Amino acid sequence: MADLTERSSCEATTRMLKKASEEDHSTAFSRAEKMKICAIGDSGICCRNCVMGPCRLTPPKKEGDEPKRGICGATAEVVAARNFVRMIAGGTSAHSDHGRAVAETLILAAKGGAEGYRIKDRIKLIEVAADLGIEVGERTSEEIALEVGRKCLAMFGQQEGEIEFALRAPEPRQEIWRKLGVFPRGIDREVVETIHRTSIGVDQEMENILLQGTRCSLADGWGGSMIATELQDILFGTPTPVKSKINLGVLEEDQVNIIVHGHEPILSEMVLLAAQSEKLLKRAEEKGARGINISGICCTANEILSRHGIPIAGNVLQQEMAILTGAVDAMVVDVQCVYQAIGELSQCFHTKIITTSPKAKMPFALHIELHEENALEIAEGIVEAAIDNFPNRGRVDIPDVTTEFIGGYDHEYINYMLGGKFRASYRPLNDGIIDGRIRGVVGVVGCNNPRVPHESVHVRVVEELVANGCLVAMTGCAAQSVAKTGLMSPETAKDACPQGLYEICETVGIPPVLHVGSCVDNSRILVALNAMVQEGGLGSDVSDLPVAGAAPEWMSEKAVAIGNYFVASGVYTVIGVTWPVSGSQVLTDYLFKEYEKIYGGMWDCEPDPDKMVGKILSHIDKKREALGILGKRERVLYDMAARRELSIE
Ligand code: SF4
Ligand code: MSK
């Protein structure tokens, strides 16, 4: 492999890549190096929606040549639009199925039929109930939760009307959706209709296809994802800031290491509970271990970090690195972002891969299916399997690399921190933006992708945004990349901030980069944007705010769904790596330019991190100018010494 430091800016990862290379283990990094990317697929103009094709609608070779059409006559922009909205449907279904599982668990818990699960956050329950028009009165938490769960579950099968959580959006935004006919009716309905309309011979107008893509993505952000986040808070507690640490160094040589990986806290919460059992701790001791050490990978890691401060072993590209340490006794997975390759890799080490969802099995894994009714008992069996595997370890190489950071921020806490207990408010944030101490707010989210240097794109983008006075909110694997830099600790981040941003962060006691959770928790960012609008002084809709979104290292369809619901909610959103429908200039121009006229937010793509930051800042400044609050600031790239001198007043 090429110079390993060029593949990842994470020291623990490069150390494990070296080991993989020496011992001839295949990883996503080495496979990415060997894989020749299909240029036609990459540009989104290959259609295989029927077997008259597949049709490859490559652009005309020379001027004057007729553009290629599919055998059915489909044009490149229609094929690209269909592919684009099918990505949205894929992402929406992933987040939404997650939300559905939480709703089902809440209902079961409310009925007393889910061992180990109980309603932890009554305040959140009452808030959500109020938003859903559910009477609280003198009812017990269980009675309210039952109705909340049922109402949320009904949103999946709803056939008409408007998804209720979307009524949280600012009024002018809702009007845009109504006028366009994209207000989501029901979550499953929008996914099904998207797939139907993009099958052979149905919707053949690019603009109309995109409208359904928008409706589907809104059913994710303001529907499935929001249900997942809200109901998880009710069941497992709303996060509050918590100190933790990240990277492979969180694995313990003398303890049973269990990594939970995937997305749904329904599993990880029970594994955590089971690992505290006296009986199992004793069993671990009997096997020669000093204890049971739980850590996480991917969004499951973000969930248990936010609520319990459990350390993070790494992000999506580190799942194979963790196994390469030889120290993982069990990697317990559920759904999404779990590489099939870990099954085979685990055969070279002692690690047991344990699949737990009936929806997700894989070769070389032990399947222990989790059922909510007796989840704790099953989780105990999983922990037991990990303990019994401890004595089978061979050589262990744990890179001694960790970073401390603070996670667990959310809308509720930001509101409270800014305004204080008795007058919770976004006023100080809005005022900080208006007086220029905060230039804008940027959500940086999404995955890691071995097609770009691991983590370094995220890190560069976020460092520069902070250096230019932006407050950054992060989720997913992007958050985990930046947690390793010190930017998520108030003390270590101060050198990276200009004076104005630093003063606000210091007063409020937050770092300039906030870890706000997992991928479904992007819905927390939607709620925060709405709160900024409601607070006043920054326009009447999300599209007026000096804010932006970015997914610099994205790879999953889920990122397209997320990006699209942010765009349709009024946010300029730029992605890195590649633009998945670059083969159609007509579609690209529509999404990059026309969308701004329709939604006030638009798509963009910029793989170069510095140029990405430049585009984000230009957009933020454009919004500041429209609001009449643009200062006389120039964008520059600063080194650390210059940053210390920097004032954005
Ligand atoms: Fe080709 Fe049309 Fe069939 Fe797609 S739907 S594969 S463009 S014939
Ligand atoms: S886990 S979707 S790689 S962020 Fe949510 Fe990370 Fe992307 Fe999976």
Instruction: Report residue 53 as tokens.
Output: 């094709």
Tell me the pLDDT tens digit for each residue of 472-492: 999 999 999 999 999 999 887
**Strand, helix or coil at 330?**
strand
Structural element, H or E, at residue 568: helix 557-568
Q: Are 142 and 166 in contact (CB under 8 A)?
A: no
Closest ligand 1 atom to the C-alpha of 201? 5
Task: Give the model's pLDDT for residue 509.
Answer: 86
Peptide bond into 172 cis (omega under 30): no
Task: Give the model's pLDDT for residue 641.
Answer: 55
DSSP-derived letter for residue 220 is I
Query: How far apart are the C-alpha atoms of 160 and 137, rounded to whole Å?
Result: 29
Query: How far apart are the C-alpha atoms of 236 and 111, rounded to whole Å?
Result: 16
Query: Pocket of ligand 1, candidates 40, 57, 71: which has the most ligand atoms within 8 Å of its Cβ, to mutate?
Result: 71
Query: How far apart are the C-alpha atoms of 600 and 214, rounded to whole Å?
Result: 14
Query: How far apart are the C-alpha atoms of 574 and 578, rounded to whole Å?
Result: 11
Tell the residue nearest (CA) to atom 3 of ligand 2: 447
Average the pLDDT over 91-114 and give the result. Answer: 96
pTM confidence score: 0.95
Q: Is 202 in the pocket of ligand 1 (CB under 6 A)?
A: no
Query: Pocket of ligand 1, candidates 45, 47, 48, 198: which has the most ligand atoms within 8 Å of its Cβ, to mutate?
Result: 47
Confidence of residue 634 (pLDDT cuts 50, 70, 90): very low
Which residue would you say has higher pLDDT here, 623 or 632? 623
Which ligand lies nearest the alpha carbon of 53? 1
Q: Which residue has the tokens 């401060």?
A: 309
Task: Give the model's pLDDT for residue 1.
Answer: 53
Task: Give the model's pLDDT for residue 635.
Answer: 45
Task: Give the model's pLDDT for residue 224.
Answer: 98
Confidence of residue 632 (pLDDT cuts 50, 70, 90): very low
Which ligand lies nearest the alpha carbon of 339? 2
Handedness of CA 556, 559, 470, 244 (dihedral sign): negative
Report CA(89)–ligand 2 centroid distance (Å).
16
Tell me the pLDDT tens digit for each residue of 563-590: 999 999 999 999 999 999 999 999 999 9
* Percentage with pLDDT > 90 across the chain: 89
Which ligand lies nearest the alpha carbon of 228? 2
Q: Are 465 and 444 in contact (CB under 8 A)?
A: yes
Query: How far apart are the C-alpha atoms of 554 and 316, rounded to whole Å?
Result: 11
Tell the residue nearest (CA) to atom 8 of ligand 2: 337
Task: Give the model's pLDDT for residue 648.
Answer: 40
Confidence of residue 647 (pLDDT cuts 50, 70, 90): very low
Q: Which residue has the tokens 């002084």?
A: 537
Q: Are 357 and 323 in contact (CB under 8 A)?
A: no
Confidence of residue 643 (pLDDT cuts 50, 70, 90): low
Q: Are 545 and 526 in contact (CB under 8 A)?
A: no
DSSP-derived letter for residue 479 is H
CB atoms within 10 A of CB 13: 30
CA-closest candidate to residue 537, choices 382, 426, 399? 426
Q: Are 438 and 471 in contact (CB under 8 A)?
A: yes
Which ligand lies nearest the alpha carbon of 522? 2
Query: How far apart are the C-alpha atoms of 338 and 310, rounded to whole Å?
Result: 20
Task: Give the model's pLDDT for residue 631.
Answer: 75
CA-closest candidate to residue 232, choices 120, 150, 356? 120
Which ligand lies nearest the alpha carbon of 296? 2
Instruction: Report residue 437 as tokens.
Output: 């101490």
Tell the residue nearest (CA) to atom 2 of ligand 1: 72
Q: Is 4 in the pocket of ligand 1 (CB under 6 A)?
A: no
Lining residues, ligand 2, CB within 6 Å: 263, 298-299, 316, 336-337, 446-447, 476-477, 518-519, 556, 558
Report CA(88)–ligand 2 centroid distance (Å).
15
Tell me the pLDDT tens digit for each residue of 204-261: 999 999 999 999 999 999 999 999 999 999 999 999 999 999 999 999 999 999 999 9
Q: Which domains does the chain have, with CATH numbers?
A: 4-56 (no CATH), 76-236 (1.20.1270.30), 248-392 (3.40.50.2030), 410-627 (3.40.50.2030)
Query: Pocket of ligand 2, candidates 299, 451, 554, 557: which has the most ligand atoms within 8 Å of its Cβ, to mutate?
Result: 299
Q: Is 148 in the pocket of ligand 1 (CB under 6 A)?
A: no
Confidence of residue 646 (pLDDT cuts 50, 70, 90): very low
Task: Give the model's pLDDT for residue 421.
Answer: 60
Pairing of strands 572-575, 603-605: parallel
Tell me the pLDDT tens digit for each residue of 457-477: 999 999 999 999 999 999 999
Residue 510's identity, in one-letter code, is I
Task: Give the model's pLDDT for residue 640.
Answer: 53
Tell me the pLDDT tens digit for each residue of 330-380: 999 999 999 999 999 999 999 999 999 999 999 999 999 999 999 999 999
Task: Give the model's pLDDT for residue 29.
Answer: 97
Report CA(70)–ligand 1 centroid distance (Å).
5
**pLDDT score of 392 more than 70:** yes
Beta strand spans in 361-493 (E) = 366-367, 403-407, 440-444, 470-474
**Residues near 65 by Cβ (< 8 Å), separated by ≥ 6?**
none
Averaged pLDDT score across all residues of the chain? 94
Tell me the pLDDT tens digit for each residue of 288-325: 999 999 999 999 999 999 999 999 999 999 999 999 99
Instruction: Report residue 8 as tokens.
Output: 């990842």
**Strand, helix or coil at 348?**
coil
CA-to-CA separations, 37 to 34, 41, 58, 648, in angstroms, rounded? 9, 8, 15, 43
Task: Give the model's pLDDT for residue 247.
Answer: 98
Query: How far apart are the C-alpha atoms of 33 and 487, rounded to whole Å?
Result: 30
Q: Are 225 and 520 in contact (CB under 8 A)?
A: yes
**Residues near 1 by Cβ (< 8 Å), separated by ≥ 6?**
7, 17, 21, 29, 30, 33
